[in-house]
Structure 1
């Protein structure tokens, strides 16, 4: 039992550590990161209940609705809701890169509990495959969500556009991931390039968020400089 729990949570903690340590300015308080990780973990239970009710009451559904609505929309909306209402307006969210830390934290909390349940049901031999696919994909959905939330918070007039993208793009990517699983018998063949693309996109967003944070701190430092005289 202990081995399954450790195998289930280790990939999530490793990925979260990676994205956390990429924060080059004013690292986030570990207590807040842990809090959002736990919120993400707890999300598994209401989402599983809602998905069960939908499958019971509605019955047979198309692969498209299962992938994009039952999974993509439900899971990404609730993760987005947690990040937006617990962190986005909080004082600790003080640079664009913070969105990536908290987006990854909530997503990996969710993915870790989901992963533990799966390993209990199917066996420890699936641990590596789960780490490479579902856990990694959840992390990257969270990274992309967090990038747009971070961009939105510090973009002024266009905030609404970026906040909408922070929800819609992860829903689309998550739905696409599950649609491949639900519709293709030999799903591994298209999944490999999809995951390569997802990692590429996620790391691009990490790099862009770091650049935005650098500009944010440079502008704040310039604004506060005692050597800048007021006119």
Structure 2
């Protein structure tokens, strides 16, 4: 019974955040089965990410900057980007800019949820520690996903090949940088880490909400809905 409670507490933040970002799609919500599939893809990439990270640790070592930006953030964000681009980018259900955010958040939270479960099972997890993980790493992964999905959405509907390539590059580079900074702060060992991580998370949330609003504002279904209201 205790294990079930711990697992529920570990899974709940990811599901709650995914529901929040899904419901923020104002004009043409994605099929739930598609969102669940992408979430499960995030679950499935945990193993290859762990294998690659282990190999890089043995090869490169674990210097704080190298670990934060290459071994941790680099591997995780680039693999999420790879899956998102090759499986979702050209899918017919990807038909408005906000969809990029939904799918990127789904794959990010699939990964983060498994990470949270592993932490809860193999570490002496308490309610307080799981709450902190919900506010920091799980939310962090979701917000890195917002950044990635925002630029993937811009790339999807860019009308020039050069712009498309640039947005796809930003979709990988910007969340990688954000994630790297986050990991560097958390792994610094400083007793003052909270003074750095709280402003960073505040910045990520404010920026994330703004990008969500911008993506929704560019939806082709927004204008269709407006035209229907005029006709009525």
The TM-score with structure 1 as length reference comes to 0.91
Q: Among 160, 176, 182, which residue is 2:165 paired with?
A: 160
Tell me the residue number matched to 1:226: none
Q: What number of residue pairs does the alignment pair up?
A: 221
Tell me the residue number matched to 1:44: 46
| 1:148 has 2:135 as partner | no
* SS across alignment from 2:45: helix
Tell me the residue number matched to 1:97: 98
Q: Among 8, 19, 26, which residue is 1:6 paired with?
A: 8
The TM-score with structure 2 as length reference comes to 0.90
Matches within 5 A, 1:76-225: 76-125=77-126, 126-157=129-160, 158-186=163-191, 187-213=193-219, 216-217=220-221
Q: Aligned partners of 1:5, 1:61: CA distance in 2, in Å?
A: 30
| C-alpha distance after superposition, 1:65-89 (max 9, x if no partner) | 1000001110000111111111110
Q: State the Cα RMSD in Å.
A: 1.8
Which one is further off, 167-176 or 116-125? Answer: 116-125
Q: Give the C-alpha shift of residue 183 in structure 1.
A: 2.1
* SS across alignment from 1:176: helix
Q: Aligned partners of 2:223, 2:210: CA distance in 1, in Å?
A: 23
Q: What stretches of structure 1 of length at least 5 have no aligned partner?
A: 223-231
| C-alpha distance after superposition, 1:86-126 (max 9, x if no partner) | 11100000000100100100000000000000111223311
